[in-house]
Chain A
Amino acid sequence: MKRSLVLVALLIAGCGVQPTEPIGGSRAKGAVIYLVQDGEVTPVLRPTRHESSQLSALELLAQGVPPGGLYTTEVPHDLGPKSVDDKTVAVTVDVTTLSTMAVAQIVCTAAAPGPVTLQGGGQTRGPVSCPD
């Protein structure tokens, strides 16, 4: 008797649309790079075929933008990002040659939780934070 009551309760409760736990699907694709608009760094989305890492985002950043667009970039093509972690961004190019705007672009695109030190060309720069 008890069991059939539970069954009936389940049946009635099972009706309609029930809330769920969060369900995860595929990894999110796309990358966020920071370009310059009106003298400020601003996030811009770039589609990717695969899940992107911070390193690949920096590579996307180094590819630059097509001329005549809304956005400009001060990051040189030969940036050559090598590695990214929470504290440092290693690149090929001499970091002292980078403009302040380019440094901001790189630091923001690297999306580290705190200030980041840039290393490259035997030089270091920073630590620098991404401006709000």
Chain B
Amino acid sequence: MRSLRTRLLIAFALLSGVTAAAVAGAMYGQARNVILEKAQDSAVRQFTERVAAMTVPDPGALSDRDSFGVILYRGRPLGDDQRVPDIPRELRDKVATGVVAWQRVVHDGQAGLVMGMRLSDLEFYSGRHLSDEQDSIRELALLAWVIGIGSLVLSGFLAWLAANSVLRPVRDLDAAARRLGEGDLTTRVQVRGGDELAGVAQTFNTTAAALEKQVADARRFVADVSHELRTPLAAMTAVTDVLDEEAPHLTEDAGKAATLVSQETRNLTRLVNDLMEVSRFDSGAATLALDDVDVAEAVTATLRARRWTDVVTDLASLTARVDPRRLDVIVANLVGNALKHGAAPVSVTLRGEPGWVIIEVTDHGPGLDPQVLPQVFDRFYKADTARTRSEGSGLGLAIAWENARLHDGTLTAGNRPDGGAVFTLRLPSGGSR
């Protein structure tokens, strides 16, 4: 399929080409005819005047520098030269009817005019070359071509400009729609002029603004709810330790209840904390606090702090400019996820590539269903649909992914050839670009 631009250009080029050809061609043709007719008319007039002025039939009187004359008396030439010149048969026939006749002939690219008339037994013929006229006409033709091609080029350029002026808004709209589709809801297009395209652009902007507002409202609602939940949770969390300590001393039922409340308060706290974290990413409030971090040490510290002692590590000694808190969050979420959903042993490897640090977290479980791979980083995505509630908040991997992206890095999920899921984190070692 041809693009709109190609079609516009072709249409313009055709239109202007036909116009240029018609105008240049018509003018050329007209000018050519005028030149030729003028030359012919004057030659014919001169010829008849010379014949009229003649008393004795004298071919010499019909000749001059530019022309030659022949007089046939009863079909034979008068004068010393008895050769019958090459006079077109049809012209002689025409002359025989008693009119003054002329004919344009072309020999070897040289144009000439042959005129003739008959009086009684005498036929008068005169020929002259048309090379001056031919030169003029050739120049005229050249000029017509130059003008034609020039106007074609010019119109092509104008068509290109026009196509651009039409297509730029279209292209802008296309790019904007794509950006909007990719999630950049702040995308707007510039509205130029008041034509139909401007109307489309206006509609696009209105729609994008409405969409942005809806999403922002939804996100703000989540952030507000999370925030409102924090204060009561803070109070509840403050006493969970008390509940834990007192539970063994209570009656069995009360103890169970206390432990349950304590445990669920902690789970709820985690969920709310993760929701707040996600809200910060959504609102763009999340920022990097970069520091030069010994990555191997940082990973070890993360594992040590969570008391994940049975994780196998293979860590190269590397320093990278990253946000240590966010690195901790990523590694903790990946390892935590592997421990929960995969099978032991879980291993963490760290290696470097020029400009990048790569951390891989692998487990020896059944691996991830290839069908769910694209969704593992979705919020609240649960690979095991039978489980109604995950042990984590359901946001851990999403948060890890957002943190990787904030670093201008990537986090991808896949399967090892011999089974087991592998999560690969790539972070720029020189800090975010």
Contacts and interface: CB of A to CB of B under 8 A. Distances in A.
B259 to A, nearest CB: 87
Given A17-B36, A32-B120, A22 B101 contact: yes
Interface string B88-111: 101101110111111111100001
A45 B73 CA distance: 13
Nearest to B89: A22
A22 B91 contact: yes
Nearest to B145: A15
Nearest to A26: B100
B133 interface: yes
Contacts of A42: 56
Contacts, number: 106
B54 interface: yes
B56 to A, nearest CB: 6
A29 B98 CA distance: 9
A46 B51 CA distance: 10
B57 interface: yes
A43 B51 contact: no
Interface in A1-32: 7, 11, 14-32
B55 interface: yes
Given A16-B137, A16-B138, A17-B133, A111 B121 contact: yes
A25 B98 contact: no
Q: How large is the interface on B (under 10, 10 to 19, 20 to 34, 35 or more residues)?
A: 35 or more
Nearest to A111: B120
A47 interface: yes
B57 A18 contact: no
B134 interface: yes
A22 B97 CA distance: 12
A28 B106 contact: no
A11 B97 CA distance: 35
B100 A45 contact: no
Contact of B99 (A26, A43, A108, A132): A26
A30 to B, nearest CB: 5
B51 A24 contact: no
Contacts of B36: 17
Contacts of B103: 19-23
B82 to A, nearest CB: 14
Nearest to B78: A43
Interface residues of A, number: 35
Given A11-B25, A16-B138, A57 B100 contact: no
Contacts of B106: 17-19
Given A17-B111, A17-B130, A43-B121, A22 B56 contact: no
B55 A28 contact: no
B97 A24 contact: yes
A25 B100 contact: yes
A85 B134 CA distance: 46
Contacts of B91: 22
A15 B148 CA distance: 14
B141 A16 contact: yes
Nearest to B99: A24
Contacts of B88: 22
Nearest to A15: B141
A17 B25 contact: no
Contacts of A24: 94, 97, 99-101
B118 A28 contact: yes
B29 interface: yes
A45 B134 contact: no
Contacts of A19: 103-106, 111
Given A14-B29, A17-B36, A22-B88, A32 B99 contact: no
A25 B57 CA distance: 22
Contacts of B57: 43, 45
Contacts of B141: 15-16
A31 B119 contact: yes
Contacts of A18: 104, 106
A14 B26 CA distance: 11
B52 interface: yes
A51 interface: yes
B104 A28 contact: no
Interface string B367-410: 00000000000000000000000000000000000000000000
B117 interface: yes
Given A16-B141, A47-B52, A23 B117 contact: no
B97 A32 contact: no
Nearest to A23: B102
A45 B90 contact: no
23 contacts: A15-B28, A17-B32, A17-B36, A17-B130, A17-B133, A17-B137, A18-B104, A20-B104, A22-B103, A23-B101, A27-B99, A28-B95, A30-B51, A32-B120, A32-B122, A44-B55, A45-B51, A45-B54, A45-B55, A45-B56, A45-B57, A51-B98, A132-B74
Given A16-B137, A22-B90, A29-B48, 13 more contacts: A17-B32, A19-B104, A20-B103, A22-B94, A23-B94, A24-B99, A43-B57, A43-B73, A43-B121, A44-B55, A45-B54, A51-B98, A57-B120
A-B pairs, 3 with minimum CB distance? A32-B120, A17-B111, A22-B94
